[in-house]
Structures are given as structure tokens and as C-alpha cells.
Amino acid sequence: MFLPGLNILGKIGALEIVLIVVIALVLLVILWIILISNSFKRNIVKIQEADSGIDVALTKRYDLLTKALDTARAYAKHEKETIYEVIKLRQGMTLDEKANAAAKLDKMGNNVNVLAEAYPELRSSEVFVSLQSSITDSEEHLQAARRLYNSNVSQLNQRLVSFPSSVIGRMLNLTQQKFFEAEQQKTQDVKISL
């Protein structure tokens, strides 16, 4: 069957063919750049989502721990020693500040357990037992948020150091991100008021 378009091929010279191939290659490269840069952007969004997840987990854990301490107040009325709460959670904390806060919350959690050991009647309080269970669950959620964040950061960092995606990363001025690491007692002891 005669196809009129095919007739044109016979009239195209070598130069034109080379030009077509070059244009096709350029288009492919442009498409590849677009795909890689979009995937980098998606990666960044996932890291931001995971970061937000850490905030949510930290806030929840903080709320539960303060409720547990409020419950403990009723049982530790005769306690004379006063210790102060110095944990501050706020919007827009850096990763180091969050790690610092997480470490303080760990210490706070330990103090809650110490109080429970010191006051048996507190241990048998249903509200307190329920809170302890929720605190354990919130710790697990915080760990999950941390691991998800680190997983996304790891993926981004690997792509930024691997060729050829590293070329696109540099074009987009992307830099390797820090991992969320659990801080080990860098700060002063947490003080809790009863």
C-alpha cells in the first residue's frame, strides 16, 4: 500500500538524519532531566512530611508525659524536692533541637517510671497505667517517625552522591541532609516540678 509520507524519506539527506537524531537525543536528555528533578522534589517533600511526622510524635509524647506527671502529682504531695520542667517544644525546630527534645523526653519518661516505682499506689492507678501504655506507644511512633525520616534522607543522599543523578542534584543546588540521631544526654538533666 502506498504511503505518501514514506516518499519523503527518500528525499532526506544524511545531514537531516543526523539532525533528527541529535534533536531526539536532546529531547530525551531534557525529559530525563525533568524526571530526575521531579523525583528529587518528591524526595524533598517526603523528607518534609517525615519531619512533620517527627513533630507530631514529639508533641504527642510530650503531652502524654505531662499528663502522667500531673497524675503523679496527686500521689507525691509530700515530696519536698522541687524540680522543674525545661522542655520547650515549638514550631520550626531544627533537627538538632528536635533530637535534643527527644533526649529530654526520654529522660522525662525515665523519671515517670522512677516515680511509679517509688509510689506503689500510683502504679495501681488505672489512669496512670493507661498513660504508661500510651507513652510506650508514643515512643514507638517517635521511633517510626525517626526511621522514616532517616530512610528518606538516606535515599536523597545516595542519589546526590551517585552519578548521573548527582549532576541534576548540583544543578538544583541540593545538599546532603542530616540524619535524625538520638542525642545522648548532651543537655542538663530534665527537671520536673511536682
Partner 1 sequence: MDNFITEIDKMRKEMLRSFILSFIPFFAGMLTAITIHIVSYYYQLEIKEYIGYAVAVFIIGMAISIYLSIFWATSKYKIYVSKYKNEIVKSSLESVFANVVFEPEKCFDKEFIAQTFMIPIGNVFKGDDKVTAEYKGVQFTRCDLTVQNVTSTGKSTSVVTYFMGQWIVLDFHKKIETNLQIREREFNSAAKGFGLFSRAPKMEYVKTESIDFNKKFAVFAEDPHSAFYIITPHFMEVLFKLQAAIDGQFILGFVGGLLHIAIHTNQNVFQPPIISAVSPTEKDKMLAQTYIITQLIDELNINLIRQEK
Residues at the contact surface with partner 1, assessed by CB under 8 A: 50, 53, 129-130, 132-133, 136-137, 140-141, 143-145, 147-148, 150-151, 154-155
User: Which CB atom, from 110 or from 154, has the smaller least distance to partner 1?
Assistant: 154
User: Which CB atom, from 85 or from 139, has the smaller least distance to partner 1?
Assistant: 139
Alpha helices (runs of H) in the chain, residue ranges in sequence order: 6-9, 14-73, 95-118, 120-123, 126-161, 165-171
CA distance 185 to 187: 5
To partner 1, the closest distance from the beta carbon of 59 in angstroms equals 15
CA distance 130 to 126: 6
To partner 1, the closest distance from the beta carbon of 7 in angstroms equals 41
End-to-end CA distance of the chain: 93
User: Which CB atom, from 115 or from 145, has the smaller least distance to partner 1?
Assistant: 145
User: Which CB atom, from 87 or from 132, has the smaller least distance to partner 1?
Assistant: 132
To partner 1, the closest distance from the beta carbon of 80 in angstroms equals 32
**Could you check whether the bond before residue 4 is cis, i.e. omega within 30 degrees of 0?**
no
User: Which CB atom, from 119 or from 179, has the smaller least distance to partner 1?
Assistant: 179
To partner 1, the closest distance from the beta carbon of 45 in angstroms equals 13
CA distance 29 to 15: 21
CA distance 80 to 141: 35
To partner 1, the closest distance from the beta carbon of 91 in angstroms equals 20
